[in-house]
Amino acid sequence: MITPAHARLNGKVALVTGAAQGIGAAAAAALAAFGADLAICDRQDMSETIALVESQGRRCESATLDVRDAVAVSDWSKQLNSDYPQIDVLVNNAGGGFYAAFLETKAKGQQALVDENFTSVTNFVRAFVPTMATGSSIINVTSIEASRAAPGFGIYAAMKAAVESLTKTLALELAHRQIRVNAIAPDAIPTPGDEGLGDAATQGAREAYDRKIPLGWGTIDDASGSIIFLASDLSRFITGTVLHVDGGSHAASGWSRRDDGTYTP
């Protein structure tokens, strides 16, 4: 029988990448609230996230590093191993992009998008899966853009789609160790990292996008709630799945809400 205890993460260690702000910071705080100790990394200052975790009586190890750097990630995994013999939850949250048409994206910019949004995930999977416990959970943060055309974000969206494909493959390859691998695909969740991107894509007419989100805009806590679900035993029979955390925008697929609550294509 499922009980509230199945949502608890007591005695577990969770690693969150890109944890300085936004979804990463919210996920780290939520994982701590549900009982996990944390390991977090980012290129930016993480002091606020560390304080949130420690205020809940949980331990928090941190590293300032570039998730695109395979050597740095590997070195950190070895360092962490002396503090945390195993990782039970891996949240690959780090990522980012910029607004530019495909033909305006130079080779250097393309490589940066590939490394930040895809290679970073493979770096952490390679470095940490060998010491993950039986029954662990990997949660990859992708985007709604992985499921639709993304003019102005072509390489970013392609890499998020690649992560979703890798998620399904890893779910099968790691099933013999009972390691579950899932992804969440957020949309309409404002974060500090994408403040300018929405305005660039909508040319300032963001209110028009409001009508494409049936439930209205969400918050970073909506994303962290789905991460807790996938990290915990509540989802112990779920693997290889992409969970859309988007207020219904993927289901709407271009339909816009009228003032009376009906929709127009």
- Provide the β-strand partners of residue 141: 184
Burial class (CB in 10 A: 0-12, 13-18, 19+), 107: exposed
Q: Respond yes or no: is residue 156 known to be catalytic.
A: yes
Residue-wise pLDDT tens for the chain (265 aa)?
Answer: 999 999 999 999 999 999 999 999 999 999 999 999 999 999 999 999 999 999 999 999 999 999 999 999 999 999 999 999 999 999 999 999 999 999 999 999 999 999 999 999 999 999 999 999 999 999 999 999 999 999 999 999 999 999 999 999 999 999 999 999 999 999 999 988 665 555 555 556 667 888 899 999 999 999 999 999 999 999 999 999 999 999 999 999 888 888 888 888 8
The angle that helices 120-128 and 154-173 make with each other, rounded to 10 degrees, is: 20
Burial class (CB in 10 A: 0-12, 13-18, 19+), 148: middle
C-alpha gyration radius of the chain: 18
Active-site annotation holder among 99, 156, 209, 263:
156
> Using CA atoms in the order 120, 164, 168, 182, what is the torsion angle rounded to 10 degrees?
80
Tokens (6 digits) for 30: 């939520």
Q: Which residue has the tokens 């943060």?
A: 141
All structural domains of the chain: 4-190+219-240 (3.40.50.720)
Q: Which residue has the tokens 């250097």?
A: 108
What's the whole-model pTM score?
0.93
